[in-house]
Structures are given as structure tokens and as C-alpha cells.
Structure 1
Amino acid sequence: MEHVAADHSSWGYFWQQIYNPTWRYLGDGCCLTRETWKDLEKAGFSELKLRHIRAPLSWNPTRPHIIGYAVK
């Protein structure tokens, strides 16, 4: 499970962009606007199963998430 960037047309993404510079500093380089699923799709895994979810957390800039697995 990994938090990823929200849809670019959403308020969630707007706030992720606002918080990202501070979040990167406090989170040791963690990036709120990373689209990790794109990198996983390009990596050439023999099997990749991902789902985009909204984890049941109180509002915070780390939503939404992807969950799944990859096989080399």
C-alpha cells in the first residue's frame, strides 16, 4: 500500500501541491504528488495487480492510495 497523487482536477491534488514542500522536508523526502502506479506499469513486471483506493483515514494529504503487488 502506498499513498499517491490525487486526481489532478481535484481539491485533494491542489492541497497536496500546497503541502508537498513542507511534507518532503518533514517526511524525509516523501512526495505527496508522486504517481507511483505509472512507474510500476512501466517497470515491466510479469504480473502487476493494483487497485486505487481511499483508505479509511481521517482527512489528510496522503490520500488516495494504491494497494497491490508486482511479480518480477
Structure 2
Amino acid sequence: MKNDELIHRVSLFLDNELNQDEAQNLMEEIRDNQQVQSLIQQEQSFKTFVKTHVSRRNVSPALIQSIKDKIRVNPS
């Protein structure tokens, strides 16, 4: 398995975006791979940090509408 593909699948797993069979297959593939298990732990720690320490600022509906108006493409 290529590293990029593995990282992508781990990310999907941590985001609960794999179905049960895909998650089980991934877990079987990495069961004895300490390096991948470490990667999973690092990714999970990072996601937890972001969720608990980074807050989103609220924006006004007027700002949202202004942005939408500026990017809207008028049909010709």
C-alpha cells in the first residue's frame, strides 16, 4: 500500500467516513505495523487538539451574502 493512500484511508477512518468493512480491513492491514499505529495516534491527537483549541469566528449573514454576490456568475 502506498503511503499517500494509507494516510488518506487513515484520515477517512479517523473521520468515521469508512464503512464497517473498510474500517475492519484497514485495522487488519495495520494490526502489526507499529509505524502506522503511531501515525494514527498522531493524527488523532492533532484532530483532537484542533477541535478543542481552535475556534471558528462567527461571521454576519451580510458578509456571507456579500461574498456570495461577488462570486456569483451571471448566466450569459
Which structure has the highest helix share of the two? 2
Higher relative contact order (CA 8 A, sep 6+): 1
Greater Rg by CA: 2
TM-score category of the 2 structures, normalised to the smaller one: 0.3 to 0.5
Task: Pick the structure with more strand per residue.
Answer: 1
